A and B are shown apart, each in its own frame.
Chain A
């Protein structure tokens, strides 16, 4: 017992000695901070603000990094290591003393920085906002540096390892993302982005791990729990590594075989992943082959650097073989598992409603919120502007047929992606995402289903409510209405048509007739029909895309409308490009432009007559029905 007490007292003395030893470093650090954070901003006239606090944190981080690295450098010099290790003091005491003295060093510098901020009038909330994520980063850095130093054999390697170790969670994220991309390639109908987002939202919480989540949030115990978790893990790991450290390997880049393997495999994964963006448009087989080749090459080079030899050991070869085997099993397993799910297409009779659209999120009715489409509620989709929740059985059948067609063949004459969300009668839901690859062939196989849907009143009312939904039209307040005229030379001018001199009822009627004709012709690709946020079909963009003769510019009227819907704060905006293809609307606007009163009267008369006929027709149908 007596001996143990003596050791404890020694450890305390050792800490005090180390703290005294830090005095010069501390004074130098204070001088650096005074010059760069107080004197320089005053001379330059930029003043002391939140940016200076960020610079201060960066300086403290750098000073802490260098200081801690130097203190831990005894791991990297055989003489020093032997000297300290031969003294009757425990490894734990040496690490504790190193950590505590550096903590005190960082703490005092942070206090100095806060004092600079407060005395310069930087609001405390601004300082707090910077400190919330950065102070835990500094603390984690303090623990990571001795760990990295114990794992490595020289100080430069320790510095590099510290940065690598700090970013391991991020590196793993890149690997996980790549994994999901592979899944997305094999699993037809599965969206890698959504799988990945769902993974990081539910399991791999980077925002919590790096304390970013807490920046704008109120006080939370989680913050301290996560920090404590980091400290416990890193401290335990450091003691474990120091205990098992092969001191005889001091001078090597990395002294721990396990860490060497982790680094080799990590880099052998990350480097090909980094390059994989270059091969994004190639086939999955080419991408996997390039991954394996680049991975092998990186693994060999990393081994050559770490081992300081171009010869690779049998163990390293075995390890790489295991890694590739694991990768192969992942790819194969994904392929097999995906195969079981990707062919699932529901029967139309089982479906109560279905969403079909290109956007990955939808707006709420009042534009105040968004929801990811893969987990949006049925009623939210229903209320979302322009997003169509199809309930008409014929439309559901068409969508199911389109779904089957896409499973058979993912080629399309225009690259595009779209989502399908089925809502079953029994309350279940099924989400699928498809990316279509671009094909030179203008194949209408998929379009036939789309145009069938596009010509239903369900589609028209939801997508183009201004034209097709009378209830909707009655509920809006027109804020502005403008028409620009654009001639063949693309010269554009305001022609003075506004809501005071245009008959909106006639305009809507003309638009309705023209859109009916355009939609009936069944031309135009998926994107322009399915895009949620751009409901009104734009013929010109389509023409340009497939380069038909119509791409030749003609006279165009550009209609811009701003309106407000009842109690919804945000104004809505729609626009139409009216070319000669929109015969009736074009004629009406041209008449207005030319101020041809005679012709205008004729149009108004024709419209009134048409309306009367429509009323008569309804009445006669009613009386016939009554007679029957």
Chain B
């Protein structure tokens, strides 16, 4: 298990991470999502101890992760802004990285370059952004890490390659009991593959939950009542947002939908009532909206 406990970091006077607590379990994909500049990459670099936290600790297998720790043999990081040593090809880089990762598998490497149709002898500097991402992903998978940190890995990839990516990743996680943390803005795709999600905003984790409970907790209700609807309150639910389109109301709700329905029916004559599924993107927007992020309307004075 990989745990981040109370990680705090300031860049001079600017607090970039504040009391970050995260738990990622083996065999799970952890989706790290957040607003732009919220500190996702910074957080990943703290896990690797490229940056050192001002306070708090990173734990892996119950041990504190420190710079130069041998625990890093289990870690592999694919950064958003990729770097490859000067003049290297995927093949030479594989040979180079073999020095660091004892589980580096040539068989898997060959299988993956074939699967992604990559020329392993082509200089990496001449490859397109998408090809570079694939190359980096191939190396990461071939290293057989126990902890895989992926920063914006599908950024710049076409839909077909993305699907290949997720297929490989899901298979590897299941087979090798890997911990995967993916930082991404591709929320729809993360929605399908993530077991657990952490939502970041302004250096804080504002929500961290399993996808299931996240979906259970946040709901969207569509209803129509006789007369004008005014927001109602209940002990076990909280109306986060109400939008009226024509005569139909859409309510974003936190808590129990049944109790909201009951309270609604007690107060109004309900003409239509149905519960809609919320995806990660909607949950994300709702959560960030709760912090006041992105709620401005363009024409609003």
When distances are taken between beta carbons in the complex, the residues of chain A under 8 Å from B131 are none
Instruction: Considering the complex, give the chain B residue whose CB is closest to the CB of A11.
Output: B99
When distances are taken between beta carbons in the complex, the residues of chain A under 8 Å from B81 are 78-79
User: Is B235 an interface position by the 8 A CB rule?
Assistant: no
User: Is A88 an interface position by the 8 A CB rule?
Assistant: yes
Q: How far is the CA of A4 from the CA of B70 in the complex (A)?
A: 8
Q: Is the CB of B50 within 8 A of A7?
A: no
Q: Is the CB of B48 within 8 A of A3?
A: no
When distances are taken between beta carbons in the complex, the residues of chain A under 8 Å from B97 are 87
Interface size of B in residues (CB-CB distance below 8 Å): 26
Q: How far is the CA of A6 from the CA of B72 in the complex (A)?
A: 13
When distances are taken between beta carbons in the complex, the residues of chain B under 8 Å from A14 are 99
When distances are taken between beta carbons in the complex, the residues of chain A under 8 Å from B42 are 248
Interface size of A in residues (CB-CB distance below 8 Å): 28
User: Is B260 an interface position by the 8 A CB rule?
Assistant: no
When distances are taken between beta carbons in the complex, the residues of chain B under 8 Å from A246 are 51-52
User: Is B73 an interface position by the 8 A CB rule?
Assistant: yes
User: Is A247 an interface position by the 8 A CB rule?
Assistant: yes
Instruction: Considering the complex, give the chain A residue whose CB is closest to the CB of B13.
Output: A313
Q: Is the CB of A88 within 8 A of B67?
A: no
User: Is B82 an interface position by the 8 A CB rule?
Assistant: yes
Instruction: Considering the complex, give the chain B residue whose CB is closest to the CB of A74.
Output: B83
Q: How far is the CA of A380 from the CA of B79 in the complex (A)?
A: 77
Q: Is the CB of B83 within 8 A of A86?
A: no
Find B72's partner among A4, A77, A88, A248 (CB 8 Å cutoff): A88
Known: A7-B70, A87-B100, A88-B101. A247 touches B51 (CB 8 A): yes
Known: A10-B99, A17-B96, A80-B83. A86 touches B67 (CB 8 A): no
Q: How far is the CA of A401 from the CA of B102 in the complex (A)?
A: 88
Find B82's partner among A6, A79, A85, A249 (CB 8 Å cutoff): A79
Closest Cβ of chain B to A96, distance in Å, is: 13
User: Is A243 an interface position by the 8 A CB rule?
Assistant: yes
Closest Cβ of chain A to B85, distance in Å, is: 8
Q: How far is the CA of A79 from the CA of B75 in the complex (A)?
A: 17
> Which residues of chain A (88-124) have a CB below 8 Å from chain B?
88-92
When distances are taken between beta carbons in the complex, the residues of chain B under 8 Å from A88 are 70, 72-73, 75, 100-101
User: Is B77 an interface position by the 8 A CB rule?
Assistant: yes
When distances are taken between beta carbons in the complex, the residues of chain A under 8 Å from B67 are 85, 91, 243
User: Is A82 an interface position by the 8 A CB rule?
Assistant: yes
Find B83's partner among A83, A90, A92 (CB 8 Å cutoff): A83
Known: A3-B73, A91-B67, A243-B67. A82 touches B50 (CB 8 A): yes
When distances are taken between beta carbons in the complex, the residues of chain A under 8 Å from B70 are 3-4, 7, 88
Q: Is the CB of A247 within 8 A of B50?
A: yes
Q: Is the CB of B99 within 8 A of A77?
A: no
Q: Is the CB of A85 within 8 A of B48?
A: yes
User: Is A198 an interface position by the 8 A CB rule?
Assistant: no
Contact with A along B85-113 (1 / 0, CB 8 A): 00000000000110111100000000000
Q: Is the CB of B68 within 8 A of A86?
A: no
Q: Is the CB of A86 within 8 A of B75?
A: yes
Q: Is the CB of A85 within 8 A of B99?
A: no
Contact with B along A62-90 (1 / 0, CB 8 A): 00000000000000011111110111111
When distances are taken between beta carbons in the complex, the residues of chain B under 8 Å from A90 are 68
Find B77's partner among A78, A80, A81, A82 (CB 8 Å cutoff): A82
Find B68's partner among A3, A13, A92 (CB 8 Å cutoff): A92
User: Is B45 an interface position by the 8 A CB rule?
Assistant: yes
Known: A86-B75, A243-B67. A81 touches B50 (CB 8 A): yes
User: Is B298 an interface position by the 8 A CB rule?
Assistant: no
Q: How far is the CA of A248 from the CA of B10 in the complex (A)?
A: 10
Q: Is the CB of A79 within 8 A of B83?
A: yes
Q: Is the CB of A82 within 8 A of B75?
A: no
Q: How far is the CA of A249 from the CA of B68 in the complex (A)?
A: 20
Q: Is the CB of A82 within 8 A of B68?
A: no
Instruction: Considering the complex, give the chain A residue whose CB is closest to the CB of B49.
Output: A85
Q: How far is the CA of A246 from the CA of B68 in the complex (A)?
A: 15
Known: A13-B99, A88-B72. A77 touches B83 (CB 8 A): yes
Q: How far is the CA of A248 from the CA of B54 in the complex (A)?
A: 12
Q: How far is the CA of A143 from the CA of B29 in the complex (A)?
A: 44
Contact with B along A524-545 (1 / 0, CB 8 A): 0000000000000000000000
Find A10's partner among B75, B77, B100 (CB 8 Å cutoff): B100
Q: How far is the CA of A89 from the CA of B98 in the complex (A)?
A: 12
Instruction: Considering the complex, give the chain B residue whose CB is closest to the CB of A90.
Output: B68
Q: Is the CB of A248 within 8 A of B99?
A: no
Instruction: Considering the complex, give the chain A residue whose CB is closest to the CB of B74.
Output: A88
Q: Is the CB of A79 within 8 A of B79?
A: yes
Q: Is the CB of A91 within 8 A of B51?
A: no
> Which residues of chain B (60-78) have a CB below 8 Å from chain A?
67-68, 70, 72-73, 75-77
Q: Is the CB of B73 within 8 A of A86?
A: no
Q: How far is the CA of A596 from the CA of B187 in the complex (A)?
A: 124
When distances are taken between beta carbons in the complex, the residues of chain B under 8 Å from A83 are 79, 83
Instruction: Considering the complex, give the chain B residue whose CB is closest to the CB of A16.
Output: B99
Known: A4-B70, A7-B70, A248-B11. A86 touches B99 (CB 8 A): no
Q: How far is the CA of A530 from the CA of B79 in the complex (A)?
A: 79
Interface-central residue, A79, A85, A88, by most chain B CB under 10 Å = A88
Q: How far is the CA of A7 from the CA of B77 in the complex (A)?
A: 19
Q: How far is the CA of A88 from the CA of B67 in the complex (A)?
A: 10
Q: How far is the CA of A251 from the CA of B101 in the complex (A)?
A: 30
When distances are taken between beta carbons in the complex, the residues of chain A under 8 Å from B83 are 77, 79-80, 82-83
When distances are taken between beta carbons in the complex, the residues of chain B under 8 Å from A89 are 100
Closest Cβ of chain A to B263, distance in Å, is: 50
Q: How far is the CA of A246 from the CA of B48 in the complex (A)?
A: 14
Closest Cβ of chain A to B119, distance in Å, is: 22
Closest Cβ of chain B to A81, distance in Å, is: 7
Q: How far is the CA of A14 from the CA of B49 in the complex (A)?
A: 21
Interface-central residue, A6, A17, A90, A248, by most chain B CB under 10 Å = A248
Q: Is the CB of B48 within 8 A of A86?
A: yes
Q: How far is the CA of A615 from the CA of B167 in the complex (A)?
A: 130
Contact with B along A183-218 (1 / 0, CB 8 A): 000000000000000000000000000000000000
Q: How far is the CA of A246 from the CA of B67 in the complex (A)?
A: 13
Closest Cβ of chain B to A172, distance in Å, is: 30
> Which residues of chain B (124-157) have a CB below 8 Å from chain A?
none
Instruction: Considering the complex, give the chain B residue whose CB is closest to the CB of A10.
Output: B99
When distances are taken between beta carbons in the complex, the residues of chain A under 8 Å from B102 are 6
Closest Cβ of chain A to B65, distance in Å, is: 12
Closest Cβ of chain A to B203, distance in Å, is: 13
Closest Cβ of chain A to B74, distance in Å, is: 8
Known: A88-B72, A92-B68, A248-B51. A82 touches B100 (CB 8 A): no
Closest Cβ of chain B to A200, distance in Å, is: 41
> Which residues of chain A (28-84) have a CB below 8 Å from chain B?
77-83
Q: Is the CB of B99 within 8 A of A82?
A: no
When distances are taken between beta carbons in the complex, the residues of chain A under 8 Å from B79 are 79, 82-83, 86
Q: How far is the CA of A99 from the CA of B122 in the complex (A)?
A: 31
Closest Cβ of chain B to A38, distance in Å, is: 30
Closest Cβ of chain A to B90, distance in Å, is: 15
Closest Cβ of chain A to B71, distance in Å, is: 8
When distances are taken between beta carbons in the complex, the residues of chain A under 8 Å from B76 are 86
Instruction: Considering the complex, give the chain B residue whose CB is closest to the CB of A242.
Output: B67
Q: How far is the CA of A6 from the CA of B100 in the complex (A)?
A: 9
Interface-central residue, B50, B52, B82, B96, by most chain A CB under 10 Å = B50
Leading 6 A-B pairs by shortest Cβ distance: A79-B83, A86-B77, A88-B72, A90-B68, A13-B99, A83-B83
In addition to A82-B50, A85-B48, 7 A-B residue pairs with Cβ atoms within 8 Å of each other are A13-B99, A79-B83, A85-B49, A86-B72, A86-B76, A86-B77, A89-B100
A-B contact pairs, 17 of them (CB 8 A): A6-B73, A7-B70, A17-B96, A82-B50, A82-B77, A82-B79, A85-B67, A86-B72, A86-B76, A87-B72, A87-B100, A88-B72, A88-B73, A88-B100, A246-B51, A246-B52, A248-B51
